[in-house]
Amino acid sequence: MRASVLQRIWDHMPPRAIGTATISFGLVSVPVSLFSASESSATISFNMLHKSCGNRLKQQYICSKEGGIVEKDDIAKGYEFAKGQYVTFTPEEIKALDEKATNSIDIAEFVPLDSVDRMYLDKVYYLGPDKGGDRAYRLLGEALKVTGRAAVGQYSARGKQHLVLVRPLDGVLVMEQLHYPAELKPVAEVPHPDTPVKDAELALARQLIEQSSTDEFRPENYRDTVRERVLEAIQRKVEGQEITADAAPPETKIIDLMDALKASLAKKGAQTSEMKPAKRAASKEDEVEATPRKRKTGSR
Q: Where are the alpha helices (H) located in 185-281, listed in sequence order? A: 199-211, 225-238, 257-275
pTM confidence score = 0.67
pLDDT tens, position by position, 81-116: 999 899 998 888 888 877 666 788 999 999 999 999
- Percent of the chain's residues with pLDDT above 90: 39
Q: How far apart are CA 70 and CA 79, in angstroms?
A: 19
**How many alpha carbons lie under 13 Å from residue 93 in its C-beta half-sphere?**
8
Residue-level pLDDT at 284: 45
Judge whether residue 247 has pLDDT over 70.
no
Judge whether residue 54 has pLDDT over 70.
yes
Q: How far apart are CA 24 and CA 110, in angstroms?
A: 13
Residue-level pLDDT at 232: 86
Q: Are 88 and 78 in contact (CB under 8 A)?
A: yes
Average pLDDT over residues 12-25: 80
Q: How far apart are CA 236 and CA 125, in angstroms?
A: 35
Residues 6+ apart with CB under 8 A from 122: 176, 177, 178, 179
Judge whether residue 3 has pLDDT over 60.
no
Residue-level pLDDT at 159: 77
Residue-level pLDDT at 22: 92
Query: Could you tell me the pLDDT band of residue 175, with boundaries at 50, 70 and 90?
Result: very high
Q: Are 164 and 121 in contact (CB under 8 A)?
A: no
Average pLDDT over residues 62-79: 90
Kindly report the average pLDDT of the chain as a whole number: 82
Query: Could you tell me the pLDDT band of residue 143, with boundaries at 50, 70 and 90?
Result: very high
Average pLDDT over residues 237-264: 75
Query: Could you tell me the pLDDT band of residue 78, with boundaries at 50, 70 and 90?
Result: very high
Average pLDDT over residues 44-64: 90
Q: How far apart are CA 42 and CA 293, in angstroms?
A: 68
The per-residue b/e assignment along 114-148, b for 16 or more CB within 10 angstroms, e otherwise, is eebeeebeeeebbbebbeebeebbeebbeebeeee
Residue-level pLDDT at 106: 93
Q: How far apart are CA 156 and CA 158, in angstroms?
A: 7
**How many alpha carbons lie under 13 Å from residue 40 in its C-beta half-sphere?**
5
Residues in the chain: 300
Average pLDDT over residues 274-288: 50
Residue-level pLDDT at 1: 42
Query: Could you tell me the pLDDT band of residue 174, with boundaries at 50, 70 and 90?
Result: very high
Query: Could you tell me the pLDDT band of residue 288, with boundaries at 50, 70 and 90?
Result: very low
Nearest to 183 by CA among 106, 115, 122: 122
Q: What is the largest CA-CA distance in the chain?
A: 125
Query: Could you tell me the pLDDT band of residue 224, with boundaries at 50, 70 and 90?
Result: confident
Residue-level pLDDT at 2: 47
Nearest to 25 by CA among 169, 114, 198, 141: 141
Residue 161 CB-density burial (10 A; 0-12 exposed, 13-18 middle, 19+ buried): middle
Q: Are 168 and 127 in contact (CB under 8 A)?
A: no
Q: Are 183 and 161 in contact (CB under 8 A)?
A: no
pLDDT tens, position by position, 107-137: 999 999 999 999 999 999 999 999 989 999 9
Query: Could you tell me the pLDDT band of residue 218, with boundaries at 50, 70 and 90?
Result: confident
DSSP assigned state of 285? H
Q: How far apart are CA 125 and CA 178, in angstroms?
A: 11
Task: Please give the helix or strand (H or E) that residue 136 lies within, else none.
Answer: helix 134-147
